[in-house]
Amino acid sequence: MAAKAAEPIVIKFAHVVADDTPKGKGALLFQKLVRQRLAGQVDVEVYPNSTLVGDADEMQALLDNKVQMLAPSLSKLIEYSPKLEVFDLPFLFDDDAAVARFQKREASRELLRSMAGRGIYGLAYWNNGLKQMTANQPLRNPADAAGLAFRIQPSPVLEAQFAAVDAKAVRLPFAKVYESLKGGVVQGAENPWSNILSQNMHSVQPYITETNHGVLDYMLITNNEFWLSMPFAVRSELEGIILEVTQAVNREAAAVNRRDRDRILASGSSQLITLTPEERQAWREQMLPVWKTYEAEIGADLIRAAMTVNRRR
Ligand code: LMR
């Protein structure tokens, strides 16, 4: 009797955003390359838009091996690795290129390994982009945010950032952001252009201030046990594919965000508020004390390492 062919290893890759975003495209490219190079050995199933698991249950699902890959934003991993708070510090990085340089440094690479003791294995940083503030009223000066409620990801730094401008911060899962903005549970949010467009947030946020005040990037993660259970040759091939996909995601993320910025502005839904350097500096100065509050937890050395990637200053 002919031996039965071994069943392929299944990788369920779940995420919370749409397919046509930097992370969504990355997940699909990963699936495509695995299909080409590991046919019959590995099957990748992609579940976008919180369809399989979402913000509330995805980490437990990964640890229980119900899903094998996620790419949560760095803010959502703080609970497992507090030093990742460095990425949430407001106005720390000048631009996407600076963030990309930091992610290549040893200090950041070490953070990929920082959750090993919790069973989580960091594979790569995937970029989305810098966040913009949106609201149902114009935000030009920090005082304009006072009293408004902003949706945030689960990050104490982001909470402190909005407290610094006398605003309220409300933690909500990504899948609830659109309806919470529409229903008035919150009046504002902070997101990169790609997330604003793909969730149609601009249709319920008449003002967008181009603040570029913080980073929204991801860590591609798996669970230790699953990753180490694979045959070496399969794991090596997957690692090669991940490297290639990571380069593609990080090369194209800025262009996707530029495209989505253009689409939002062309839709006419929202008024764009561009800050003068002095106005931006006012936001920066008001939020800067947050760095000091979190310095002990993050480590002054890590904050310094992040600052050195900026060209100016
Ligand atoms: C958010 O919750 O705003 C983001 O983490 C969503 C995402 O994955 O980009």
Rounded CA-CA distance 64/68 in Å is 9
Probe residue for ligand 1, chosen from 13, 15, 17, 201 as the CB with the greatest number of ligand atoms within 8 Å:
17
3 state SS of 62: helix
| Residue 198 and residue 259 in contact, taking contact as beta carbons nearer than 8 Å | no
3 state SS of 167: coil
Ligand 1 centre distance from Cα of residue 16 (Å): 7
Q: Quick check: 1 pLDDT over 80?
A: no
> pLDDT digit string (tens) for 24-59?
999 999 999 999 999 999 999 999 999 999 999 999
Q: Is the CB of 21 under 6 A from ligand 1?
A: no
- Quick one: which atom of ligand 1 is closest to the CA of 151? 3
pLDDT (0 to 100) of residue 2 = 55
What letter represents residue 4's amino acid? K
Q: Does pTM top 0.75 for this prediction?
A: yes
Across the chain, mean pLDDT equals: 97
> pLDDT digit string (tens) for 130-156?
999 999 999 999 999 999 999 999 999
Tokens of residue 207, six digits: 């003002």
Give residue 6's pLDDT band: very low, low, confident or very high (50, 70, 90). confident
Q: Is the CB of 194 under 6 A from ligand 1?
A: no
- Cα 225 to the chain's mean position, in Å? 24
* DSSP assignment string, 109-124: HHHHTTTGGGTEEEEE
Give residue 293's pLDDT band: very low, low, confident or very high (50, 70, 90). very high
| 8-state DSSP, 258 | H
Q: Is the CB of 196 under 6 A from ligand 1?
A: no
Query: How open is the CA angle 67-189-127, to the nearest 5 degrees?
Result: 50
Probe residue for ligand 1, chosen from 125, 191, 197, 220 as the CB with the greatest number of ligand atoms within 8 Å:
191
> pLDDT digit string (tens) for 14-33?
999 999 999 999 999 999 99
Handedness of CA 67, 68, 72, 75 (dihedral sign): positive
Give residue 4's pLDDT band: very low, low, confident or very high (50, 70, 90). low
Q: Is the CB of 78 under 6 A from ligand 1?
A: no
Per DSSP, what are the bridge partners of residue 216?
Answer: 129
* 298: nearest Cα among 121, 97, 35, 74: 74
3 state SS of 108: helix
Q: Quick check: 236 pLDDT over 90?
A: yes
Q: Is the CB of 81 under 6 A from ligand 1?
A: no
What letter represents residue 136's amino acid? N
Q: Quick check: 87 pLDDT over 60?
A: yes
Q: Quick check: 313 pLDDT over 60?
A: no
For 175-202, what is the mean pLDDT? 98
Ligand 1 centre distance from Cα of residue 6 (Å): 37
Give residue 3's pLDDT band: very low, low, confident or very high (50, 70, 90). low
| Residue 85 and residue 156 in contact, taking contact as beta carbons nearer than 8 Å | yes
Percent of the chain with pLDDT over 70: 98
Percent of the chain with pLDDT over 90: 97
Q: Quick check: 119 pLDDT over 90?
A: yes
Q: What are phi and psi of 10, to 5 degrees?
A: -100, 130
pLDDT (0 to 100) of residue 135 = 98
For 92-109, what is the mean pLDDT? 94
For 62-85, what is the mean pLDDT? 98
Q: Quick check: 164 pLDDT over 60?
A: yes
Ligand 1 centre distance from Cα of residue 240 (Å): 26
pLDDT (0 to 100) of residue 311 = 83
